[in-house]
């Protein structure tokens, strides 16, 4: 079978990419190892994705936002960052950002379901589910993708969106910078007695990191706990009642009694940044290009931005009858996406390291950083602009922003 573009992986990034390409005239194949039924009704994986204003605009334009049910959308009005037993912390108020709210919270499975509904409705997208890619080869003349079901796909361009542990990236000889934080993150929906008031928490307590993500219901949040793997195994062994009580104690009962209200989902914390995003007739998008530590909540936001950057360039090339796999086009995508993501990727790793290290000196640096953060409004403005700005990526000094401009 022959296509213009073969996309490997129908996760949020691959699905959004296929949807963004709809109407470009390009014939797209989307290969996914999960079944079509799993893609249509994805299981709850516990992740609540913080959506920035720019991402929400893209999701609206792509028709995904309209697929979400009201009860699937949580309001992220304000956020606070706490350190140790400090009650004050660093506060991020929506008014300071000049916006009605800092962002939204939507379940990853809801995003996947909405993206699948939109991508599968596009007449120029062919879904090849329940099979997986076994080999990829690209030459100056074209690309070939072999599938486990024995089929071979021919294309002008291959785009891999097959997760941060991308096998295709490796098969194409592209290395990646990988940082294993040696910690496990538990995400768990919980009911709690005291209302969340639409405020998210990031709490760097001693020996553990906690977060609270407010969901649609005022008494339901996604509780996030980060621990070394051995300690996490003990937590996961508790029954629901004991886990509810243990989480309430970890949150120092600031939310009153807590009760388990969703599946327990645990993730190893590994950050990944591909050494290159492109090769001959080949590009990486989503986590396969940039796999963020979740602490700054930007993995999907960057995935959405990157797929849009590449798809927009492909739309333009297709409109003028140009080469959709030219080295110039692919390098342009890589350049822009690197500029948009690299600073926050590095800052996130620094932050994750700083806030999960309990040595005395690091604790002091943390205190100073949070204290300074509260007072230094330009710093807070930069963080909040990253959430509420009407363009993707984090705000950069003006000369770099000019380079970033579309
Ligand atoms: C706990 C947690 C919280 C998070 N919170 C946030 C947040 O608040 N905000 C945010 O922006 N991001 C967040 N993220 C990040 C976000 O979830 C990811 O960035 C996003 O899901 C990545 O999407 P993806 O499509 O690139 O990859 P994936 O979701 O990993 O999808 C890859 C797809 O490729 C398929 N595949 C793999 N190999 C093959 C193959 N060989 N052949 C065929 N198919 C294949 C897989 O089956 C899968 O469907 C969080 C992540 C975690 C773990």
What DSSP letter does each residue of 101-137 carry, written as one string? -SEEEEEHHHHHHHHHHHHHT-TTEEEE-S--EEEEE
Percentage of the chain lying above the pLDDT 90 cut: 79
First to last CA, the chain: 34
Average pLDDT, the chain: 90
Cα 261 to Cα 34, 75, 104, 240, 264: the distances in Å are: 26, 19, 20, 9, 9
pLDDT on residue 380: 60
pLDDT on residue 405: 31
pLDDT on residue 86: 74
pLDDT digits (tens, 9 = 90+) for 264-319: 999 999 999 999 999 999 999 999 999 999 988 899 999 999 999 999 999 999 99
Ligand 1 centre to CA of 86 (Å) is 34
Report CA 308 to chain centroid distance, whole Å: 14
pLDDT digits (tens, 9 = 90+) for 359-406: 555 555 555 555 555 444 555 666 666 777 776 655 443 333 333 332
388 within domain boundaries = no
pLDDT on residue 363: 58
194 within domain boundaries = no
pLDDT on residue 63: 98
- Closest atom of ligand 1 to 300 CA is 11
Does residue 259 line the site of ligand 1, with CB under 6 A? no
pLDDT > 90? residue 9: yes
- Tell me which of 32 and 373 has the higher pLDDT: 32
pLDDT on residue 97: 84
Pick from 6, 7, 9 the residue to mutate for probing ligand 1's pocket: most ligand atoms within 8 Å of its CB.
9
- Closest atom of ligand 1 to 224 CA is 1
Domain count of the fold of the chain: 1
Round to whole Å and give the CA distance between 58 and 120.
18
Pick from 31, 39, 49 the residue to mutate for probing ligand 1's pocket: most ligand atoms within 8 Å of its CB.
49
Ligand 1 centre to CA of 205 (Å) is 28
Round to whole Å and give the CA distance between 373 and 162.
37
pLDDT on residue 354: 75
395 within domain boundaries = no
62 within domain boundaries = yes
Does residue 126 line the site of ligand 1, with CB under 6 A? no
Does residue 381 line the site of ligand 1, with CB under 6 A? no
Cα 366 to Cα 328, 360, 362: the distances in Å are: 43, 10, 6
Nearest CA to ligand 1 atom 1: 47
Ligand 1 centre to CA of 9 (Å) is 9
Model confidence band, residue 88 (pLDDT cutoffs 50, 70, 90): confident
Give the pLDDT mean for 256-262: 97
- Closest atom of ligand 1 to 285 CA is 26
pLDDT on residue 353: 81
**Among 304, 275, 233, CA closest to 15:** 304
Does residue 185 line the site of ligand 1, with CB under 6 A? yes
pLDDT > 70? residue 242: yes
User: Residue 53 is part of which domain span?
Assistant: 5-73+106-177+271-356
Greatest alpha-carbon pair distance for the chain in Å reads 64
CATH number at 28 reads 3.50.50.60
Nearby residues of 395 by Cβ (< 8 Å), 6 or more positions away: 382, 385, 386, 389, 401
Which is it for the CA torsion 152, 22, 305, 116, positive or negative?
negative
329 within domain boundaries = yes
97-130 residues labelled b (16+ CB within 10 A) or e (exposed): bebeebbbbbbbbbbbbbbbbbbbebeebbbbbb
Round to whole Å and give the CA distance between 312 and 307.
8
Round to whole Å and give the CA distance between 307 and 285.
6
Ligand 1 centre to CA of 369 (Å) is 31
Q: Are 290 and 340 in contact (CB under 8 A)?
A: no
Ligand 1 centre to CA of 352 (Å) is 20
Ligand 1 centre to CA of 242 (Å) is 30
pLDDT digits (tens, 9 = 90+) for 161-215: 999 999 999 999 999 999 999 999 999 999 999 999 999 999 988 889 999 999 9
pLDDT on residue 371: 55
pLDDT on residue 400: 32
Does residue 267 line the site of ligand 1, with CB under 6 A? yes
251 within domain boundaries = no
Does residue 169 line the site of ligand 1, with CB under 6 A? no
Does residue 12 line the site of ligand 1, with CB under 6 A? yes
Ligand 1 centre to CA of 11 (Å) is 6
**Among 150, 251, 235, CA closest to 191:** 251
Does residue 32 line the site of ligand 1, with CB under 6 A? yes
Nearby residues of 100 by Cβ (< 8 Å), 6 or more positions away: 94
For residue 96, the surrounding DSSP H or E stretch is helix 94-97
User: Which token pair is 279?
Assistant: 């090769």
Nearby residues of 177 by Cβ (< 8 Å), 6 or more positions away: 272, 273, 274, 275
């Amino acid at each position: 079978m022959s296509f213009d573009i073969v996309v490997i992986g129908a996760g949020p990034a691959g699905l959004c990419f296929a949807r963004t390409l709809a109407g470009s005239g390009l014939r797209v194949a989307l290969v996914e190892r999960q079944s079509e039924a799993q893609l249509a009704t994805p299981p709850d994986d516990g992740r609540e994705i913080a959506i920035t204003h720019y991402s929400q605009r893209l999701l609206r334009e792509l028709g995904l936002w309209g697929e979400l049910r009201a009860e699937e959308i949580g309001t992220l009005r304000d956020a606070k960052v706490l350190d140790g037993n400090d009650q004050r912390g660093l506060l991020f108020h929506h008014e300071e950002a000049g916006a009605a709210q800092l962002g939204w919270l939507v379940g990853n499975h809801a995003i996947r379901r909405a993206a699948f509904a939109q991508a599968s409705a596009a007449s120029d997208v062919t879904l090849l589910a329940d099979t997986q890619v076994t080999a990829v080869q690209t030459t100056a003349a074209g690309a070939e993708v072999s599938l486990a079901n024995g089929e071979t796909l021919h294309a002008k361009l291959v785009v891999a969106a097959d997760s941060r542990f991308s096998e295709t990236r490796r098969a194409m000889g592209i290395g990646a910078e990988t940082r294993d934080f040696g910690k496990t993150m538990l995400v768990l929906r919980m009911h709690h007695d005291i209302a969340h008031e639409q405020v998210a928490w990031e709490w760097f307590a001693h020996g553990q990191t906690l977060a609270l993500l407010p969901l649609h219901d005022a008494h339901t949040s996604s509780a996030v706990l980060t621990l070394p793997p051995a300690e996490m195994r003990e937590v996961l062994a508790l029954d629901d009642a004991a886990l509810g009580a243990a989480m309430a104690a970890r949150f120092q009962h600031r939310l009153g009694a807590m009760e388990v209200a969703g599946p327990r989902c645990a993730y190893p914390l590994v950050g990944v940044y591909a050494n290159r995003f492109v090769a001959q007739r080949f590009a990486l998008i989503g986590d396969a290009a940039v796999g963020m530590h979740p602490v700054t909540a930007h993995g999907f936001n960057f995935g959405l931005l990157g797929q849009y950057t590449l798809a927009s360039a492909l739309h333009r090339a297709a409109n003028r009858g140009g080469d959709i796999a030219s080295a110039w086009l692919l390098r342009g995508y890589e350049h822009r996406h690197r500029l948009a993501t690299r600073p926050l990727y590095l800052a996130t790793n620094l932050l994750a390291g700083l806030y999960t290290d309990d040595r005395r000196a690091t604790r002091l640096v943390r205190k100073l950083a949070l204290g300074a953060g509260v007072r230094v409004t330009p710093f807070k403005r930069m963080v909040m602009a990253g959430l509420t700005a009407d363009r993707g990526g984090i705000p950069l000094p003006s000369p770099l922003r000019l380079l970033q401009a579309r």
